[in-house]
Amino acid sequence: MKLCVAFDLASKDECIRLVKELKGLDLWVKIGLRSYLRDGFLLIEELKKIAEFKIFLDLKLYDIPNTMADACEELAKLDVDMINIHASAGALAMQSIMKRLQGFKKRPLILAVSALTSFDEKGFYELYKQSLREAVLNFAKLSYENSLDGMVCSVFESLLIKEHTSYDFLTLCPGIRGLNDDKNDQARTATVREAKEARADFIVVGRPIYKSLNPRLSCEQILEQIHSK
């Protein structure tokens, strides 16, 4: 299981400071909407020069199939290691993307977001009139059948997804919190241990790391939990 640190910081300087502080650790960096909309690809280039972290560009694309394929082609040219789309964009969008990226010698991993981890069961039902479990499984099967590489999901759905698709189908789980951490706006949170038990391939941790007094130490403690038996 890999640790992916969300760089959702308020300025480019803070992102640069954080990457310098974490240099040398075995982790991935996740660049999300805030940082990418503000700093664009220059931030990724600068981060890459400082440390050799793999990059997950978390833009959660959602549009008509051709527009999504165009966007994924552009992102693939940026040489990032992982990107994502909303699974609810549907089968045609997935097929167009995977077809478009066929020609790339090295393409990024493509994950699909099932249901945001900020939804609880009640809030999800009110909007979609479906249980989270049912919706996530449908999205996972659709994504697997259309050759995506994996899902963004909560820890509580990771094992379920693998059991209904394949154990090689990746799961990346945000909403990870220690027992004493603030949940913030996350609803379906879980611990590192629970993520391991659910066979998550990646965990995403943001605020508990970048808002801590010692982000490097926070990362090291999480990495220790990942590697402990």
Return the active site residues.
58, 60, 63
**Is 193 annotated in some ligand binding site?**
no
For ligand C5P, which residue has the nearest CB? 206
Residues in the chain: 229
Least separation, in Å, of the C-beta of 139 and ligand C5P?
12
**Is 117 annotated in some ligand binding site?**
yes
Contact residues: ligand C5P, CB under 6 A: 6, 8, 32, 58, 113, 116-117, 152, 174-175, 184, 186, 204-207
Closer residue to ligand C5P in complex, CB, 18/100: 18
Contact 15, 39 (CB under 8 A): yes
Least separation, in Å, of the C-beta of 13 and ligand C5P?
19
Quote the CA–CA distance of 113 and 93 in Å, as a whole number: 13
Short-list 75, 187, 58, 77, CA closest to 121:
187
**Is 171 annotated in some ligand binding site?**
no
Closer residue to ligand C5P in complex, CB, 66/127: 127
Which residues 6+ apart lie within 8 Å of 167 measured at CB?
199
Quote the CA–CA distance of 222 and 77 in Å, as a whole number: 32
Closer residue to ligand C5P in complex, CB, 100/136: 136
Least separation, in Å, of the C-beta of 8 and ligand C5P?
5
Per DSSP, the three-state class of 153 is: coil
**Is 34 annotated in some ligand binding site?**
no
Rounded-to-10 torsion of CA 62, 9, 40, 153: -30
Residue numbers in the known binding site for substrate are 8, 30, 58-67, 117, 177, 186, 206-207
